[in-house]
A and B are shown apart, each in its own frame.
Chain A
Amino acid sequence: MQRYTLNILLVLACLGLVLLTWQNMLDSYVLTVLMLMGINIIFASSLNLVNGYMGEFSCGHGGFMCVGAYVGSVLSVICFSSNKILGAALLPPALAPWCFPLILLASGFAAALFGLLVALPSLRTRGDYLAIITIAANYIIISLIENVDVIGGPRGLSGMKRTINAMQDVLDIPWMLIWVIVGTIFSLVLLRRLVTSTRGKGIPAVCQNEVAAEIMGVNTDRVKITAFMFSSALAGVAGALSAHVFGYVNAQAFNILKSTEGLVMVYLGGMASLSGSVLAAVVFTLLVEALRFAIPAMDGLLHAVHLLPADFALSQIWKWVLIPLLLILLMQFRPEGIMGNRELSDVFPRLRRWYTFN
């Protein structure tokens, strides 16, 4: 029983969260932040597979999230909402709860296909040369989507709220929260299963010594393609989830800046550490939100003690000065990220007694 303590606690916490939301006891802002956190966890941990475990430097992960977000949104709009261009709803709303996971899967699948855009060049080149291929892929994907007018082009696409409403009509529970929780846990479990299997250990082997890996019988081409596609697929799921959480999607939301956020979370958490990525995603999301409130407070304080001239107000833009600054400082103090390349259970071996993840 002891071995399941943490598992049970985790389940209870999720259930409690769902219950609170169901009873409308959770502020909708808090709820959005929590869901964002889950999405960031998927985004960061999937990027860690490529950047941490495989040691590549992919800086275009946002592109795959974008593919997932758009494919998910388009499917969702086609199926469950009437749209001037995409036509009337294809399916009865009662099917929404059953189709939504399929939509998520399809988004992941589509993103994985776009992952090939990077996976195939990775067979020929690596390191910084691959890095720019990933950047180029990011630009190409965004540019591609912006040029398709049917899905809104640069104006973006909305209408996904209809799907959620349809689900809510079937059963009145906080569907999006549940899907985000399920998606997050699923992604982490799958990633963990992959990297702890002997087959999955081929991924760090490629990073640590590619020549040895190939000559000792590891099919490095296959390992690379698997890692890239799997990581893009999860990013795609994260994208589809985020599109539905916000009910609106725009390609520019997934540009290099989004990819940079992913990089920050991965390296902040520590390369090749899933728990590190989770921790970093939580910390990063909270940091961004905390500063939203901290900046007006700081503004008031600094004006009160007359450190700032009266006509100068601290705007929210300072957030994006303070966050990088904090991250730089963090990296100066812990140049290997929060967790290094260890997992939480390596740092606290006693933890192992309290959980069973397989």
Chain B
Amino acid sequence: MEVFAQNIVNALQWGSFYALIALGYTLVYGVLLLINFAHGDIFMVGAYIAFFVSTGLLGMKGLGLSHIQVLALTIPLTMLLTSCVGVTLERIAYRPLRRKGAHRLYVVITALMCGLILENGNLALLGASRRTLPEMLDKVVYSIGGIAVTNVKIGVIFTALLVFVVLQYIVTRTRIGMAMRAVSWNKFALPLMGIPLDRVIVFTFMMGSGIAGLGGMLFAMSYPMLDPYMGAMVGWKAFIAAVVGGIGDIRGAFVGGFLLAFVEIMVAAFLPSTFRDLFAFSILLLIMWRRPTGIFGIAQTTKI
């Protein structure tokens, strides 16, 4: 029983990572119908940025910052810088193609290529030596009824929930959020309504990448070893989670992310871990078979 509860906590943590990345896929997809396959690598970039920012800040002895202060500074800086990376990709790679009216899938392939450049460029520039995120938070282990929970884990789960609430608010209540939803309905009518399309798109990429950066940093705090390819696998899985939840829907990204994490952790708990992918993906395939447009997806209807 305790093992089970421990697994649930772990699943919640992994689900938070998946959800934070899946959000970026879903946001961009909701607005542009673009699968931004570079997103997993933006998550990785976020982790690296967190590494450089935090070591930089800790290195500046003159500032005399305490660890907590460094953490407090690193979070917004990481999010900001990562969102710059996302927006840059959009500006130099996706937007020109969109302007030329290229087939949607060419943009998707470009995104895939951008992802490859990010991960391999990272490896090529920084070399193969693994980097470790400095510890900014003293690890505290709480024991609740025999379940060991670290403060980082609690932080991760709460951050994910917080992000969900904030995003839900932005998308449903604010002007820019409504504009985002409007773009997904009709890209052509939007400029006619006086909403600048590009600004909405840039904002979407900023939010998506910022959240991925936050996710990357939290991931690095939980698993401090950084690796240029850490984003690829997690990214693909988060994308799958987003689609299972119903891509384009924020609730879907969360539910899908947590669902995938639960399935994975539970499979790994009861079966040899090599079966994890096999079962996790088979279960997802079955879910897609039952609900072809995902859990929160709206059924595709064709009108004649």
Contact = CB atoms under 8 A, between A and B. Distances in A.
- The answer to whether A and B belong to the same complex is yes
Contacts of A28: none
Interface residues of B, number: 48
Interface in A307-347: 314-315, 317-318, 320-321, 323-325, 327-328, 331-332, 335-337
Interface string B157-183: 000000000000000000000000000
Interface string B107-122: 0111011101100110
Contacts of B224: none
A144 interface: yes
Contacts of A129: 243, 247, 288, 292-294, 297
A334 to B, nearest CB: 9
B288 A132 contact: yes
Given A133-B288, A135-B240, A328 B113 contact: yes
B243 A260 contact: no
B96 interface: yes
Nearest to A56: B105
A136 B247 contact: no
A73 B32 CA distance: 44
B274 A146 contact: yes
Contacts of B112: 260, 263-264, 324
Contacts of A324: 112-114, 116-117, 120
B209 to A, nearest CB: 18
Interface string A25-56: 00000000000000000000000000100000
Interface string A122-139: 001111110111011101
Interface residues of A, number: 48
Q: Give the residue among B93, B106, B109 with the most A Cβ atoms within 10 A.
A: B109
A132 B297 CA distance: 14
A57 interface: yes
Contacts of A127: 300
Contacts of B123: 317
A336 B109 CA distance: 12
A121 B285 CA distance: 9
Contacts of B105: 51, 57, 267, 271
Interface string B6-41: 000000000000000000000001000101000000
Interface stretch (B54-62, B75-83, B213-221, B275-283): B275-283
A325 B117 contact: yes
B293 to A, nearest CB: 6
A291 B66 CA distance: 48
A331 B300 contact: no
A294 interface: no
Given A125-B288, A267-B105, A324-B113, A147 B274 contact: yes
Contact of B102 (A124, A139, A210, A336): A336
A335 B113 contact: no
Interface string B39-55: 00000000000000000
A82 B300 CA distance: 53
By secondary structure, the A interface counts as helix
Contacts of B205: none
B278 to A, nearest CB: 4
B243 A331 contact: no
Contacts of B284: 132, 136
B203 interface: no
Nearest to A267: B109
A86 B239 CA distance: 39
B254 to A, nearest CB: 17
A301 interface: no
A144 B117 CA distance: 30
B179 to A, nearest CB: 23
B304 A139 contact: no
A335 B124 contact: no
Given A129-B293, A131-B35, A140 B281 contact: yes
Contacts of B139: none
A210 B304 CA distance: 11
18 contacts: A121-B289, A125-B288, A125-B300, A129-B247, A129-B297, A131-B35, A132-B288, A136-B284, A143-B274, A143-B277, A263-B112, A267-B109, A318-B124, A324-B113, A324-B116, A324-B120, A327-B113, A335-B100
Question: Lowest 8 CB-CB distances: which A-B pairs, in order?
Answer: A335-B102, A125-B292, A324-B113, A143-B278, A320-B120, A143-B277, A136-B281, A324-B116
Given A57-B105, A135-B239, 4 more contacts: A132-B243, A139-B278, A256-B236, A324-B112
Interface of A: 51, 57, 117, 121, 124-129, 131-133, 135-137, 139-140, 142-144, 146-147, 154, 210-211, 256, 260, 263-264, 267, 271, 314-315, 317-318, 320-321, 323-325, 327-328, 331-332, 335-337
